[in-house]
Amino acid sequence: TEKKEVLLTGGVAANKRLQQMVHSISNEHGARFEVVPLKYAGDNGAMIAWAGILRYLSEGEHKIIDTIIKPKERMDNIQIPWRTGD
């Protein structure tokens, strides 16, 4: 994308190995790399819980046995029924 700055945030920002990897890649591409202070490197549990409530209200219950994990799914391909009206 030719971006010149990378900021590592959220829960993953606390991962030292990931910090090293992203720092190395940033250097290779001539990009500035920064990490949020550890006290801010957390996941927002309330936001995650609220998204779960909205999904439940929109789609009803999902049994764990019927769910599928897609670790490589792109965020821009995910349908959000309570926002799109699908």
Per-residue pLDDT band at 59 (split at 50, 70, 90): confident
Q: What per-residue confidence (pLDDT) applies to 51?
A: 86
User: Among candidates 46, 61, 54, 62, which has minimal Cα distance to 81?
Assistant: 54
pLDDT for residue 47: 80
pLDDT above 70: residue 84: no
DSSP 31-56: -EEEE--GGG----HHHHHHHHHHHH
Residue 73 pLDDT > 70, yes or no? yes
Residue spans of the domains in the chain: they are 5-40, 45-84
Give the rounded percent of residues in the chain with a pLDDT score beyond 90.
Answer: 44
Q: What residues pair up with 8 in beta bridges, in sequence order?
A: 35
